[in-house]
Amino acid sequence: MSERSLTAIRHSKSRQQQLLRVVRWVLTVILIFYAVFPAVWVLSASLDPRNSLAQQALIPPNASLENYRALFNNPVQPFGRWMLNSIKISTMTSILAVMISALASYAFSRFRFTGRRNLLLTILLIQVFPNFLAMVAIFLLLQQLGNYIPWLGLGTHGGLILAYLGGALGINTWLMKGFFDSIPRDLDESAKIDGATDWQIFSRIIFPLVRPILAVVGILTFIGTYSDYILASILLKDRDSLTLAVGLFQLIDGQYSQKWGLFAAGAILGAVPIVIVYLLLQDYIVGGLTQGAVKG
Amino acid sequence: MTRATTGGGASRPSTSLKLSDVAFRLIGLALIDAVAIWLLMQMMADGVWILVTLLLIITIGINVVFLRPELYPLRWMSPGLALMLLMVVYPLVFTVYTAFTNYSDGHLLTKQQAIERMTTGLQNMYVPEGGTTYSWVAFQAEDGTYALWLTDEEGNHYFAKPGEPIQPATAGEGIFGPPDENGVPTSIEGYTRLNRIQAATNRDLPNIQFGEPPDAVQIRTPSEAAILQPRYVYDEELDAIIDQKEGKIYYANDEVGFFVSEDGETLNPGYIVTVGWRNFERLFNSPAIRGPVLRVFLWTVVFAAASVITTFALGLFIALLYNDPTIRWRKVIRSFLIIPYAIPAFISILVWRGMMNPQFGVLNRTLFDLFGYSPPWFSDPMWARLGVILVNLWLGFPYMMLVCSGALQAIPSDIYEAAEIDGASMWQRFRHITLPLLLVSVGPLLISSFAFNFNNFNIIYLFNRGNPPMSGTPTPVGHTDILVTYVYRLAFASGGGKDYGYASAITIIIFLIVASITFFQFRYTRMWEEVSENV
């Protein structure tokens, strides 16, 4: 190949790359617009005091916090209550689920016993079926249980949390066990020689070291619970006891033209905490997700 | 797998047992047992045998696990296993059982409960032929008990208290005050007279038997009381309910869960019986049901597959676009593109619904301005299906993007260099190197994604509740309904009657499909082996 043709190739190649860069930036703009527009549009709607689906413009004239104020001042849609209910239920579910799962993972990781493999496989297999599929059974079970333990009955947050916790063991246990396995056993052994019990080893040595995976599982459980509609809608009935997902759906369903701005304010308040957590911890969460955890 | 295990089966070399530990454990167990026994006694008294069985299994299990040293590892898992048993395993078993019963509106009770319902209660009482009816006035004593002043058709008066024989009485004599225009005493010593409205709205009165059974009088209407007899009597030998009024016999038919007379009339309520494969036969054989269910099933598969393919295609495309680590602002761009995934799905779905509103939504207004057409996302079956898939694409592409960009980085770059030297085009490199290698690592996640979307209740229900409705189906079904929302309709949506048995039969079909997907996935990813090796 002559000197000249080589430069020609190099030239055409760099031109090709330049073209690629331009295309990429154009695509980037389009993609970001696509990804972000609904969020921006809702933010704008929430600030538009006209509360109208039809007239809304991207930049609302007379922007105000009127919709936000209205959201908290109407007992017919106790938005603040719904939000607190959701946060309470999701927090308790995720904390309890992490504890339950961490205990089991520790046992799977550190103890050797017959049937260990089969037990782990059984748990993984059973949890393949999301328990909301058996919604009728759960509904009837809580209905009866409520006659004896009122705070676990139908329509109570306790009962709903109980239903969520049925899935505490499962793929999370598998994720956690993998992480536990990566912590050298020498640590336990030396602690044991010093006379530490298993519980002390677990709570003082292992637990602090596995905090990252506990955080990931906790956050994913939190978000999954926060986003659940089906179980909450079946098991909760009182307006004041609803979660955000059920309440917001009831608020807006069939009333888009009347309540759009109000709903938008609720959507923003309901989404912002989760989005912030997500963006801050995206590296952790992505790691968990690619290993098979599922977000609701 | 060959790793040595310490000490055969049971494992823990028992550390020296401290007395305080043992005491602590025993006290804890005793407390749990005390609560469990207290609950069990109440449940047994009420005959709720399912709860009794579950609680018994869990309590015994906890006791065994905490008392036998060789089960030590299970102690750590006991909370999780107990919850799983209660909230996953039992519901699964119950669902399988229900699928083989006629459990539905009209068949919600056990046979025993149904008999009780039919043979007791005021609504099942009647005035036997030749029985006496009375007009009545109610009085209430200071201790809250009630009494009736009765007047029969001939004008004779009686005074009736619960549990005591009915006495003839005359106003103005003894404890009875002077009569009013109907001959009813205006007052009775120790009692206050209830006026008509008080008496008619009193909830206790109709349930009280005045006088001594079997000649007790009960209130039937605000103006009439009578000696009532139970209309339906259960005959254990015949296993039949006898209608005393009509003289008809209704035999228990355990095939259909009804008491049926010889001329084919049934008594309500019916009761729960096992019906074998009938729910499944209905699913496969009844033309009215088979058609809609088949369509729902096909749409479920199409929806799940289309969701995976579209999100994967867009996600992969974006991942390839930013695969070069030297791109400026890469991290920032990723943060923006991840936003759809970070917003809780139920919120995004409702937002999209607003933006896609045919008259006022911003998307439809824009489309109308551009093309002069506003797609009817919520009323036309095809547009509704497309709408669901489009919204799901927005929700799901960031996940695929994240997954793919991770997997792309794991592909060694020297393969590409070699291909480039061999003169492979960009498309060829993608087609023959990137895609196959990517599918190896991302494949299992695509399968999980399929399984997830197969049961993606939120997107279907919150977007359009599975509507627009199909016409001419025996129970309401929509064109965008997937199997799980169809089950929800059957079991919880009002109208058309709830049919738990049939809903459970469909749930079992979902189970089977999800189980096969999982089996395939486990095979594909060798998860079994992985579990075995890492144990």
Q: How far apart are CA B90 and CA B94, in angstroms?
A: 6
- Domain membership flag for residue B7: no
Q: What percent of chain B has pLDDT over 70?
A: 93
- Report yes or no: B95 and A134 within 8 Å, Cβ to Cβ: yes
Put simply, whether A22 touches B (Cβ < 8 Å) is no
- Per-residue pLDDT, B13: 45
Query: What's chain A's average pLDDT?
Result: 87
Verify that B183 and B242 share a domain, yes or no. no
Q: Which residue of B lies nearest to A229 if distances are taken between CA atoms?
A: B458
Residues B246 and B344 in one domain: no
A118 touches chain B (CB under 8 A): no
Contact B11 A112 (CB under 8 A): yes
* pLDDT confidence tier of residue B7, bands split at 50, 70 and 90: very low
Distance in Å, alpha carbon of B487 to nearest chain A alpha carbon: 8
Radius of gyration (Cα) for chain A, nearest Å?
Answer: 26
How much is the pLDDT for B528?
Answer: 54
B257 lies in the same domain as B188: no
> Do B34 and B145 fall into the same domain?
no
Spatial CB neighbours of B526, under 8 Å, sequence gap ≥ 6: none
pLDDT over 90 (residue B4): no
CATH of the domain at B182: 2.40.430.10
Comparing CA positions, the residue from B215, B236, B235 lying closest to residue B226 is: B215
Task: Please list every residue in chain B whose beta carbon sits closer than 8 Å to the beta carbon of residue A147.
Answer: 46, 48
Query: Cβ contact (<8 Å) for A289 and B403?
Result: yes
Q: Which residues of A touch B14 (CB under 8 A)?
A: none
pLDDT at A240: 93
Of all residues in chain B, the one with the smallest CA distance to A54 is: B360
Q: Does residue B372 sit in the same domain as residue B521?
A: yes
Query: Which residues in chain A touch residue B76, judged by CB atoms under 8 angstroms apart?
Result: 103-104, 106-107, 111
Q: Is A192 on the interface with B (CB under 8 A)?
A: yes
Secondary structure (H, E, C), A207-222: HHHCHHHHHHHHHHHH
Please name the residues in contact with B189: beta carbons below 8 A apart, sequence gap of 6 or more: B175, B176, B177
**Is B487 part of the contact surface with chain A (CB cutoff 8 Å)?**
yes
Residues A82 and A267: their CA atoms lie apart, in Å, by: 12
User: Which secondary-structure segment (H or E) carries B192?
Assistant: strand B191-193
Place B14 in a pLDDT band, splitting at 50, 70 and 90: very low
**Cα-Cα end-to-end distance for chain B:** 7
Q: How far is residue B106 CA from its own chain's centroid?
A: 17
pLDDT at B225 over 80: yes
- Angle (nearest 5°) at CA B441 between B437 and B447: 120
Whether residue B163 is contained in a domain is answered as yes
Q: Identity (one letter) of the amino acid at B237?
A: E
Contact A120 B77 (CB under 8 A): no
Is residue B317 one of the residues assigned to a domain? yes
Question: What's the whole-number mean pLDDT along residues A56-74?
Answer: 86
Residues A27-58: b if buried by 16+ CB within 10 A, e if exposed? ebeebeeebeebbebbbbbbbbbbbebeebee
Least confident of A65-69, A275-279, B91-95, B197-201: B197-201
Q: Based on the fold, state whether residues B469 and B517 are members of the same structural domain.
A: yes
Q: Which residues contact B118 (CB under 8 A, 6 or more apart)?
A: B124, B232, B234, B241, B259, B267, B269
Residues B432 and B446 in one domain: yes
Determine, for residues A134 and B95 on separate chains, whether the beta-carbon distance falls below 8 Å: yes
User: Domain of B434: which CATH number?
Assistant: 1.10.3720.10
Best probe of the A interface among B48, B50, B88, by most A CBs < 10 A, is B88
Lowest pLDDT segment from A101-110, B30-39, B167-176: B167-176
Instruction: Calculate the dihedral angle through the C-alpha atoms of B311, B314, B320, B321, rounding to the nearest 10 degrees.
Output: -140
- Asked if A197's CB is within 8 angstroms of B95's CB, the reply is no
Residues on chain B touching A165 (C-beta within 8 angstroms): 83, 87
State whether residue A282 is helix, strand or coil: helix
CB contact under 8 A, B354 and A144: no
Pair (B484, B348) in one structural domain: yes
- Tell me the two tokens of residue A205: 């040595």
**Closest residue to A271, CB basis, from B343, B359, B399:** B343
Contact residues, A window 60-79, toward B, CB-based 8 Å cutoff: none
Q: How far is CA B260 from CA A292, B107, B249, in A?
A: 55, 14, 8
Same domain, B354 and B497: yes
Closest CA of chain B from A136, distance in Å: 7
Domain final residue pick, B210, B227, B244: B227
Q: Per the structure block, which two tokens stand in for B243?
A: 């209608």
pLDDT of residue B35: 94
User: Does residue B340 sit at the A interface (CB-CB below 8 Å)?
Assistant: yes
Chain A interface test: which of B42, B62, B76 (most A C-beta within 10 Å): B76
Q: Residue B235 pLDDT more than 60? A: yes
Q: Kindly report, residue by residue over B139-156, the tens digit of the pLDDT.
A: 888 888 888 888 888 888
Q: Are B11 and A112 in contact (CB under 8 A)?
A: yes
Interface test with A, best of B58, B83, B330, B402 (most A CBs within 10 A): B83
Specify which of A119-123, A172-176, B454-458, B490-494 reaches the highest per-range mean pLDDT.
B454-458
pLDDT tens-digit series, residues A186-233: 888 888 888 888 888 999 888 888 888 888 889 889 988 999 999 999
B248 with B296, same domain: the answer is no
B511–A contact, CB cutoff 8 A: yes
Phi-psi group of B249: left, alpha or beta (phi > 0 → left; psi -120 to 50 → alpha; rest → beta): beta
Which candidate in A44, A105, A113 is best for mutational testing of the B interface (most B CBs within 10 A)? A113
Does the distance separating the beta carbons of A27 and B345 come in below 8 Å?
no
Domain that holds residue B173: 128-227
CATH of the domain at B54: 1.20.58.370
Identify whether B2 is part of a domain: no
User: Closest Cα partner for B322 from B232, B433, B421, B398?
Assistant: B398
Quick one: which of B292, B296, B314, B293 has its CA closest to B304?
B296
Say whether B360 and A54 touch across the interface (CB within 8 A). Answer: yes
Closest CA to A96 of A157, A177, A54: A157
Beta-bridge partners for B176: B188
Between CA B339 and CA A35 the distance in angstroms is 7
The partner residue sitting opposite B344, judged by closest CB among A112, A177, A274, is A274
DSSP A201-269: IIIIIIHHHTHHHHHHHHHHHHHHHHH--HHHHHH--SGGG--HHHHHHHHHTT-HHHHHHHHHHHHHH
What pLDDT, in 10s, does the model give residues B267-289?
888 888 888 898 898 888 888 88
State whether residue A32 is helix, strand or coil: helix
Confidence of residue B9 (pLDDT cuts 50, 70, 90): very low
For chain B, how many structural domains are there in total?
4
- At B272, list the tokens: 């729960």
User: Average pLDDT, stretch B415-423?
Assistant: 84
The DSSP symbol for B433 reads: I
**B360 with A53: Cβ contact below 8 A:** yes
What's the rounded Cα separation, in Å, for the pair B508 and B280?
10
ipTM score of complex = 0.89
Is residue B294 situated within a structural domain? yes
The answer to whether the CB atoms of A148 and B359 lie below 8 A apart is no
**What does the pLDDT read at residue B8?**
37
B180 and B70 both lie in a single domain = no
Task: Give the position of tokens 């095809």.
Answer: B382
- Asked if the C-beta of B118 comes within 8 angstroms of chain A's C-beta atoms, the answer is no
C-alpha–C-alpha distance, residues B253 and B238, integer Å: 12
> Number of CB pairs < 8 Å for A and B?
274
Report yes or no on B173 lying in a domain.
Answer: yes
- A193 at the B interface (CB within 8 A)? no
| Average pLDDT score over residue span A244-261 | 90
Using the Cβ of A254 and the Cβ atoms of chain B, whether some distance falls under 8 Å is answered with no
Q: Are residues B524 and B501 in the same domain?
A: yes
Scanning B412-451 for CB atoms below 8 A from A yields 444-445, 448, 451
Give the sign of the dihedral formed by CA B173, CA B174, CA B180, CA B184.
negative
Which residues on B lie below 8 Å from A111 (Cβ)?
A: 11-12, 72-73, 76
pLDDT of residue A294: 46
Interchain CB contact of B325 with A (< 8 Å): no
Q: Tokens representing B429?
A: 């490199």
| Interface test with chain A among B11, B14, B35, B87, by most A beta carbons within 10 Å | B87
Chain A residue numbers with beta carbons less than 8 Å from the beta carbon of B535 are 116-117, 120
Does the pLDDT value for residue B90 go beyond 80? yes
On whether any CB of chain B is under 8 Å from the CB of A227, the answer is: yes
Tell me the two tokens of residue B154.
Answer: 């001939």
Nearest CA in chain B to A181: B534
Interface contact B327-A24, CB threshold 8 A: yes
Q: How many Å lie between the alpha carbon of A34 and the closest alpha carbon of chain B?
A: 8
Length of chain B: 535
B106 pLDDT above the threshold of 90: no
Q: What percent of chain A has pLDDT over 70?
A: 92
Q: Check pLDDT > 80 for residue B530.
A: no
Q: Which of A32, A114, A267 has the CB atom closest to B333's CB atom?
A: A32
Q: Mean pLDDT lowest for which of A152-161, B180-189, B507-516?
A: B180-189
CATH at B243 = 3.10.650.10
Residue B333 falls within a domain, yes or no? yes
Query: Among B227, B242, B259, where does a domain finish?
Result: B227
- Considering the domain boundaries, does residue B1 fall inside one? no
Chain A touched by B42 (CB under 8 Å): yes
Of A67, A103, A136, A219, which to mutate for an interface test with B (greatest number of B Cβ within 10 Å)?
A136
**Mean pLDDT lowest among A189-203, A255-269, B27-41, B209-223:** B209-223
Q: Which pLDDT does position B516 carry in this prediction? A: 87
Quote the mean pLDDT of chain B: 85
